[in-house]
Amino acid sequence: MEKELDIANWKRKEHFHFFRKFEEPFFGVTVKIDCTKAYDYAKQSGKSFFLYYLYQSLKAANTIEEFKYRIKGEKVMVYDQVNASATIGRPDETFGFSYIEFKEDFEGFYGPAQQEADRVSKGSGLFPEVFSENVIHYSALPWLDFSALSHARSFSMEDSSPKISFSKLTTTKTSKTMNVSIHVNHALMDGYHVGKFVEKFQELMNSY
């Protein structure tokens, strides 16, 4: 479900109109997330760590309204829920885009997410079976402990979906950490909202 945002009475209307005109309205940050408890939980329960942190990231995003805003023409639409369009690697060293629906309950999320990841992994096409605006574009680069990341972008294509990427997991004697790159459209949100997302994501990764 979606509804139109009342831009005229939106407290960020000036910010929206200002950044909407930019050739590159996205801004990005990279932060370090402690994954020690989350990794231990995933391994102890026999679950995919990737799907576990993907779920917690989606859960965090769905608590912040601005992550559910999308630009359609001159309008801003607000979705009830955002889902994941995540890249899934293949044995032949290519990847495909998936469509993974968010479910509030991890067990309800995990089964369908695993099925979709398996389907894409065994397939050959690039694009998912479901196209939707209410997604976050996810990718994982488990080969790189990156500290910054940029994205390939087509400026002629309207795009306002957040983009979240996960680095290689780094292990020390006492902890496991992962860098997370977050790119969002500045017409729809600010650093404050990204900060709220990071805080909530870390909170969820610490609890099980």
CATH value at residue 134: 3.30.559.10
One-letter identity of residue 117: A
Question: How many other CB atoms are found less than 10 A from the CB of residue 85?
Answer: 22
pTM for the structure as a whole: 0.96
Whether residue 155 has pLDDT greater than 90: no
To the query of whether residue 151 is one of the catalytic residues in this protein, the response is no
Catalytic residue among 15, 17, 137, 186: 186
**Mean of per-residue pLDDT scores for the chain:** 96
pLDDT for the residue 131: 82
Q: Is the dihedral of CA 74, 130, 197, 159 positive or negative?
A: negative
Whether residue 21 has pLDDT greater than 80: yes
In sequence order, the β-bridge partners of residue 33 are 178
Phi, psi of 74 (to 5 degrees): -95, 5
In sequence order, the β-bridge partners of residue 83 are 135
In sequence order, the β-bridge partners of residue 87 are 97
Number of structural domains found in the chain: 1
pLDDT for the residue 45: 96
Nearest to 84, CA basis, from 70, 103, 111, 65: 103
Average pLDDT over residues 112-119: 97
Structure tokens at 79: 């979705």
Average pLDDT over residues 52-56: 98
For β-strands 69-72 and 95-97, DSSP reports them as: unpaired
> What is the spatial distance between Cα 115 and Cα 46, in angstroms, rounded to a whole number?
16
Average pLDDT over residues 171-195: 97
Using one digit for the tens of pLDDT, what is the confidence trace for 56-94? Answer: 999 999 999 999 999 999 999 999 999 999 999 999 999
Which helix (H) or strand (E) segment holds residue 19: the answer is helix 13-20
Whether residue 156 has pLDDT greater than 90: no
Nearest to 121, CA basis, from 84, 85, 96, 86: 96
pLDDT for the residue 116: 97
> What is the spatial distance between Cα 38 and Cα 205, in angstroms, rounded to a whole number?
5
> What is the spatial distance between Cα 145 and Cα 46, in angstroms, rounded to a whole number?
25
Residue-range definition of the domain harbouring residue 82: 2-205
pLDDT for the residue 132: 85
From 33-42, 141-150, 152-161, 172-181, the region with the lowest mean pLDDT: 152-161
